[in-house]
Homo-oligomer: A and B are copies of this chain.
Amino acid sequence: MPGSSLSFGRTLVFAPHPDDEVLGAGGTIARLASEGEEVFVAVVTEGKPPAFDPAEVARTQAEAKEAHRALGVKETFWLRLPAAQLAEMAHVTVNAALLELVRRLAPQTVLLPFVGDMHMDHQLTFASALVACRPHQAEFPKLILAYETLSETNWNAPYLSPAFAPNVFVDISDYREAKLKAMQMFASQLREAPHERSIETLSALATLRGATVLRRAAEAFVLVRHVV
């Protein structure tokens, strides 16, 4: 029987900071990898001294590596732009870093942080990634989705910043546990409930996003562009 189906193909996930990719798309990454797709993660920033303690930075990066391995990420790229300072970088520099990766990997699908997130690094990653994905080159990503990030997306100003109103739902019923486990590997970033960045909240979000489309768990996205 003819059914609809979407395969993401080679997929690149941009994470402004390590853990964003798991909070927003960890279940999707696990599902794609399990279905045989190549999934890449690009961590855009890195905490620089003196604002950030190198030992802490190294610890978080180690957590990320462990989490990515567990999710089945094929390769992680560290762009090492300065964390919390993307707004101080020349935009062409950020654009170029992301564009170079998009050209090299030629992903069919790109996952982005949401432009309405509170953190400027998220907003600027979104903007530069859109430039890197412009549909005017022979190879450009055909599917671009923005994910939500607990402790960012819900803290911006309602009705004054762009609303995260999801229109794409990826069923992760079989990957909820993989996602939560990957997040638990980010011990340095996790908080105790009722903080938003807690396992309990992340699990509740998966339940809610799933229930909206009659699934036990889902991750929700806003579509930026899909070329079919």
A contact residues vs B (CB 8 Å cutoff)? 1-10, 36-38, 51, 84-85, 87-88, 90-92, 108-109, 115-116, 118, 120, 126-127, 130-131, 134-138, 140, 142-143, 146, 150-151, 154-163, 165-171, 191, 193-196, 198, 200-201, 203-205, 207-208, 210-216, 222-228
Nearest chain B CB to A15 CB, angstrom units:
18
Q: Are B87 and A136 in contact (CB under 8 A)?
A: no
- Inter-chain contacts of A216 with B (CB < 8 A): 193-194
A159-B162, A204-B207 given. 4 additional CB < 8 A pairs? A136-B195, A158-B222, A168-B228, A193-B207
| Residue of A127, A134, A157 ringed by the most chain B CB atoms within 10 A | A157
Which among A134, A224, A226 has the greatest number of chain B C-beta atoms within 10 A?
A226
* Cβ–Cβ < 8 Å partners of A161 in chain B: 115, 162
Contacts of A9 in B (CB 8 A): 2-5
Main secondary structure of the interface of A (DSSP, over half): loop
Q: Which residues of B contact A193 (CB under 8 A)?
A: 207, 211, 216
Q: Is the CB of B211 within 8 A of A201?
A: yes
- Tell me if A226 and B131 are in contact (CB < 8 A): no
A226 / chain B contacts, CB cutoff of 8 Å: 6, 167-169, 223
- Which residue from B87, B116, B134, B208 sits with its C-beta under 8 Å from A204? B208
A27 to chain B, nearest CB (A): 12
A205 surroundings in chain B (CB, below 8 A): 204, 208
Query: How far, in Å, is A36 (CB) from chain B's closest CB?
Result: 7
A36–B171 Cα gap in the complex (Å)?
A: 26
- Asked if A2 meets B136 with Cβ closer than 8 Å, knowing A91-B120, A222-B158, the reply is no
Residues in chain B near residue A6, CB distance under 8 A: 4-7, 226, 228
Closest B-chain residue to A198, C-beta based?
B211
A203 to B204 alpha-carbon distance, docked (Å): 8
